[in-house]
Amino acid sequence: MKQLLWLLKWILKAAIFFTLFAFALNNQQDTTVHFFFGTQWRAPQVLVVLTAFAAGVAVGVLGMVPRWWQHRRSAGQAQAAGQPTAVADPSTGTPPAIPHGL
């Protein structure tokens, strides 16, 4: 059973890779991106799409950093105070109740 799941996972990864590879091969036309003040960038279309995707991921991660720091700080304070850290219930998958005093 484990080997079958491993095989299915690799087949899915290969299918995604070849789909994206075919997308890249089919979109090699030059595209011009116009910025402010007459500045422009000419690149293959797939590179423009990949750059836009990477910029979106970077903005999303940077948007989550303050929340991550807040959670790390509150977990560190709870551990220093000897309080148990909140962990999700694995049987139901529900997140723990966070006390308002932290």
Q: What is the pLDDT of residues 35-72, one digit of tens each?
A: 899 899 898 888 888 888 899 999 999 999 988 888 88
Looking at the predicted structure, is the pLDDT value of residue 102 above 60? no
- Whole-number Å distance between alpha carbons of 96 and 91: 12
pTM of the model: 0.53
Does residue 73 sit within a domain?
yes
Please state, rounded to an integer, the average pLDDT across all residues of the chain.
Answer: 82
Does residue 94 sit within a domain?
no
Does residue 97 sit within a domain?
no
Counted domains in the chain: 1
Parallel, antiparallel, or unpaired: how do β-strands 30-34 and 40-44 relate?
antiparallel
Residue 73, pLDDT score: 87
Does residue 1 sit within a domain?
no
Does residue 55 sit within a domain?
yes
Does residue 101 sit within a domain?
no
Three-state DSSP state, 33: strand
